[in-house]
Amino acid sequence: MVDTAKLVREFGTPLYLYDLRRVRESVASLRSALPTGTHIYYSLKANPHPDIAAAARAEGCDAGVTSPGEVADAAAAGFPLDECLYTGPGKSEEAVDRSVREGVRTFSVESETDFRRRARAAERTRQRLRCLIRVNGTEAAGGVGLRMSGGPSQFGVDFARVAGLAKSVQDHPGTTLRGLHFFPLTNAKDEESLLEEFTRTLRAAAALRAQGVPIDQLDIGGGFAAPFAVPGDPPVYRSLADRLTAALDEHMAGWRDGAPRISVESGRYLAASCGTLVLGVLDVKKSHGRTYAVLDGGVNCLGGMSATGRLLPLSAVPLEATERAEDKNEPVHLAGPLCTPVDVLGRGTRLPLPRVGDLVQIPNVGAYGMTASLLAFLSHPSAAEVVVDGGRLVSATRLQRERRPIGPPPSGAAPGPDQGRPAGPNPGRR
């Protein structure tokens, strides 16, 4: 077991502690919840830390990436880039060209304009690019998870226009139509919602296949859930594998022979449980009858996306909350150190009254923790990120924020201290 107190003495707080064993367990558990042979993309968006990504790679996942930075992280983690899937509603020519030069070949196509960019990139780089058309499904929104398609959306191509776009992709000499990409929801409420969504996806894909759209790869997306910043285990999907297998048999003839190959994507389910955020208590104070624990990390370390009022309503419950019987615990507001009232991680969380110098541990923050936070807001150093594998220390790093000049120096400006020096590790210009 890891000695958290010892790591804190060495690296300080705030500290993200990641255990690679949990990543491997999560991949195995997702694999067992899916039809035999289902291909899994690890979405680096959830946590691009190279050790975590490498653990997902070692378990046989490919990488789902959305930016040149994630392409670099995927490469550093050992993912073969020609098997990466590059997705996202806005891909600049520069980002795509750079990724193609690095070795990325497969892209999700989100619109006609996005396709024309892909075609031009294929011409410029003289590489044949494989395209999955991202489909915005046909059905109206249901009450599950966070839906990302079915109505007006910046994601994907409306169902009615997919067949026409598929033809353009096939006809262009620089592009190959690999198949279809769906990602209609994230963080599904339960197994039923997940299966319902996959079934809708399979119906839509089958309808497009019947219209003549060839499908060598069908990426049915994901939506696999996990607790966020509260104690608990990721859901176990007991009947999903059997029922999804049946749905595939019904709608996607050939899938058992890999025609089409079936893929899913997951960030949250694979990475959430590996991470714990350890924070130090800087102050404990009462105000108008309410108890505040002021921690040394807040929305600059965790939950910045919630502070924006979007996604994952944050109400962190530390592990300490489960240590004693409920009735002995007290409601505590968990505040961060930032000078803004949005910097609250938990409100009225019942836990043993913390004391100055105590540690508070927020579990299940391996996904959408660190890099989904307001990292640069108020300019504190970012949290330490310490990776262990069971009891063994693997790495300890800190993501750095730095400002570098870009472009030529403004005319008439006196040369800065860095300018004119040979390019070192932190060159003044490109």
The binding site for ligand PLP (CB under 6 A) comprises 43, 45-46, 64, 87, 183, 186-187, 222, 224, 265-269, 367
Helix (H) or strand (E) holding 147: strand 146-147
**At which residue do the structure tokens 């494989």 appear?**
130
148 vs 279, beta carbon nearer ligand PLP: 148
Shortest reach from residue 84's CB to ligand PLP, in Å:
13
Contacts of residue 233, Cβ cutoff 8 Å, sequence gap at least 6: 227, 273
Shortest reach from residue 266's CB to ligand PLP, in Å:
4
Q: What is the DSSP letter of 410?
A: P
Distance of alpha carbon 323 from the chain centroid: 30
CB-count burial class (<10 Å; 0-12, 13-18, 19+) for 104 = buried
Both tokens of 331, joined, read 């409601």
Shortest reach from residue 230's CB to ligand PLP, in Å:
16
265 vs 385, beta carbon nearer ligand PLP: 265
CB-count burial class (<10 Å; 0-12, 13-18, 19+) for 115 = buried
272 vs 351, beta carbon nearer ligand PLP: 272
115 vs 269, beta carbon nearer ligand PLP: 269
CB–CB of 317/364 below 8 Å? no
Shortest reach from residue 239's CB to ligand PLP, in Å:
20
- Measured CA to CA, the distance from residue 43 to residue 276 in angstroms comes to 19
87 vs 217, beta carbon nearer ligand PLP: 87
Shortest reach from residue 145's CB to ligand PLP, in Å:
8
- Measured CA to CA, the distance from residue 430 to residue 408 in angstroms comes to 9
Shortest reach from residue 428's CB to ligand PLP, in Å:
36
79 vs 224, beta carbon nearer ligand PLP: 224
Shortest reach from residue 103's CB to ligand PLP, in Å:
20
Residue nearest to ligand PLP (CB): 267
367 vs 388, beta carbon nearer ligand PLP: 367
Of 317, 309, 322, nearest to 333 by C-alpha is 317
Number of residues written out for the chain: 430
293 vs 367, beta carbon nearer ligand PLP: 367
188 vs 247, beta carbon nearer ligand PLP: 188
Task: DSSP for 3-63, please give it.
Answer: -HHHHHHHH-SSEEEEEHHHHHHHHHHHHHTS-TT-EEEEETTT---HHHHHHHHHTT-EE
What is the Cβ-side half-sphere exposure of residue 70, based on CA atoms within 13 angstroms? 24
Both tokens of 101, joined, read 């030069």
Q: What is the DSSP letter of 127?
A: -
Shortest reach from residue 202's CB to ligand PLP, in Å:
17
Shortest reach from residue 212's CB to ligand PLP, in Å:
25
- Measured CA to CA, the distance from residue 76 to residue 398 in angstroms comes to 16
Of 282, 280, 285, nearest to 318 by C-alpha is 280
CB–CB of 16/300 below 8 Å? no
Shortest reach from residue 290's CB to ligand PLP, in Å:
34
CB–CB of 169/115 below 8 Å? yes
CB–CB of 263/220 below 8 Å? yes
336 vs 369, beta carbon nearer ligand PLP: 369
Shortest reach from residue 58's CB to ligand PLP, in Å:
19
95 vs 338, beta carbon nearer ligand PLP: 95
